[in-house]
Amino acid sequence: MSSILTNTSAMVALQTLKAVNMNLEGVQSEISTGKSIASAKDNSAIWAISKVMESDVKGFEAISESLSLGESTVAVALNASETTTDLLVDIKEKIVAAQEENVNRQSIQTDIDALVNQIQSVTGAAQFNGLNLVSGTDDVNILSSLDRAPDGTVTDSDITIERQDLTTAAGVFGTGASLTGGAPVAAGDAAVVGGNLTIQAGAGQNEDATSTREFSNAANTAELTVGGTIVIGEQFNLQIGDTTVSFTAASTATADIASGLTAAINAAGIEDVTATVAASVITISATSQFDDLTINASETSAAGTLVLASEGGDGTTAGGGFTGGVIEARASEITFSGTNAVNEGDGYRVTVGGVNFDYVASAGETFEDVARGLKIAIDSGTLANIETNVVQDATTGEWTLQIDNAGTALTLAADGAAGGEATGGLAGIDQIDVTTDEGVEAALANIETFISSSIDAAADFGSAQGRLETQATFISNLTDSLKAGIGSLVDADLEAASARLQALQVQQQLATQSLSIANQAPQSILSLFR
């Protein structure tokens, strides 16, 4: 049936043309935007995923900038620490040259002062955008990643850069919790202060019931008594350190044997050792500052005897500073705990003759750093006749600061408190003095500590820079991977779009022609009425 009111053919042709035009618009949109999913209406699920990933990409691009800033900051600090190391090596060269007595030490001191000033200039200028990693102790966190959990929550990750203080700041002794603890004993050589340190006055010297000890240049002694029945021709041997002295009896008098051994000891020229005799008793005196001296006695006959006295207990009787076959070193000692930890801000103070010498620990330091820091502080002071040394017990691992007084008696005390402001890593370098024999000796020992601190700082910065570079490369590659993933989800396939465009254009033309034919169909009805 034909009708002039309803043209079903035109309806079909029109619907076809609309569908073709809609598809053509979609293909043209893909070609113009480059995306197959340009908005949520195209595919809401894929669009939502792509937008989340795009937000992550923006975040990682910001992280790349943060890492670049961090790399630049660490690079400046690394350059400063390496330059400081080179300058310290130059200072060491000057100190070694000053060991000779026939050089102009004042000129060398001038050169050292100039190098120290240069170090201070380097550490002061080593900042990037206001951040100086070789000054202060606060760690610096650099944003390094964003971590998305399966539930969609996002957390940030940081790379922590530890500051390496290479300044000459003196630090501030704290007023926090005491690090010394329990009460000391009233007698004996060792007074346990408790907590993190033990103070021991030089053996055989005076001390009281507080943490204050008096120490001076008194020699430590061992007594050797000649006894028994002397046989002419009997040989008496005495080993002192690496030296052995002998005396052969020419009479049966014990006093003669004692006198002969005393003369042999003094003639041997043993460093820091002298001997005196009273009747049959030999007193061996040792003024060795930091090294113990081993003594062994023997004789070739069971008749005559050599008896070594034991330690004198409170240090007031003969034999003070001798125990177990060893004359102890003269120096007083402050021994630090081998089990407790050192925290940032922990301060340790040694008071010599009423003068305080402080060292306040920085983050990550050990009792070796504390002992060496106190040594440098004391060596940098103005007290005469005071020398220091740092040793570690091979058995317990404890670090000990030895302090020797070659002058008049002085008081010695030790204290510790938390909550301080850390001492600079090169504190005391500006006090190096090579114009005196004592200053040269102390400088040679301490410059190694300074160089070690600077090398450690450079090594830490180098490691941090390597980590930042690795993370930056990873973030760059990750960002590229995310972008590629987003592209695979929403980007248009332009080759396919081009082919579909041409096909749809043909379909559009055909649909238009079909609609035109369908619209002409009612005209044929007129012929029925002619």
How is the beta sheet containing 347-352 ordered, strand by strand? 212-215, 410-417, 347-352, 355-360
CA neighbor of 134 nearest in space, from 492, 523, 464 = 464
Quickly state the pLDDT bin for 302 (edges 50, 70, 90): low
CB 444 within 8 A of CB 96: yes
Where is average pLDDT lowest: 60-69, 72-81, 227-236?
A: 227-236
Taking only the tens place, the pLDDT of each residue in 149-201 is: 887 788 888 898 988 989 988 889 999 888 875 443 333 344 444 467 777 66
What pLDDT, on a 0 to 100 scale, did the predictor assign at position 50?
83
Where is average pLDDT lowest: 196-200, 226-230, 249-253, 520-524?
A: 196-200
Query: Has residue 260 got a pLDDT over 60?
Result: yes
Quickly state the pLDDT bin for 92 (edges 50, 70, 90): very high
How is the beta sheet containing 304-308 ordered, strand by strand? 273-278, 281-286, 220-228, 304-308
As a whole number, the mean pLDDT across the chain is 83
Average pLDDT over residues 82-98: 94
The CA-based dihedral angle spanning residues 369, 375, 376, 380, taken in that order and rounded to the nearest 10 degrees: 160
Query: Has residue 110 got a pLDDT over 70?
Result: yes
Q: Cβ-count burial of 409 within 10 angstroms (0-12 exposed, 13-18 middle, 19+ buried)?
A: middle
Taking only the tens place, the pLDDT of each residue in 16-39 is: 888 888 877 777 777 777 777 777
For residues 241 and 448, give the distance between their C-alpha atoms in angstroms, rounded to a whole number: 29
Where is average pLDDT lowest: 71-75, 79-83, 206-210, 511-515?
A: 206-210
CB 429 within 8 A of CB 119: yes
For residues 509 and 304, give the distance between their C-alpha atoms in angstroms, rounded to a whole number: 135
Q: Which residue did the predictor score with more confidence, 329 or 523? A: 329
Q: State whether residue 55 is helix, strand or coil.
A: helix
What type of residue is 480?
A: D
Q: Which residue did the predictor score with more confidence, 312 or 320? A: 320
Query: Has residue 316 got a pLDDT over 70?
Result: no
CB 98 within 8 A of CB 111: no
For residues 430 and 60, give the distance between their C-alpha atoms in angstroms, rounded to a whole number: 45
User: Going by C-beta distance under 8 Å and a sequence separation of 6 or more, which residues neighbour residue 386?
Assistant: 352, 378, 403, 404, 405, 406, 407
Average pLDDT over residues 322-344: 84
What pLDDT, on a 0 to 100 scale, did the predictor assign at position 195?
63
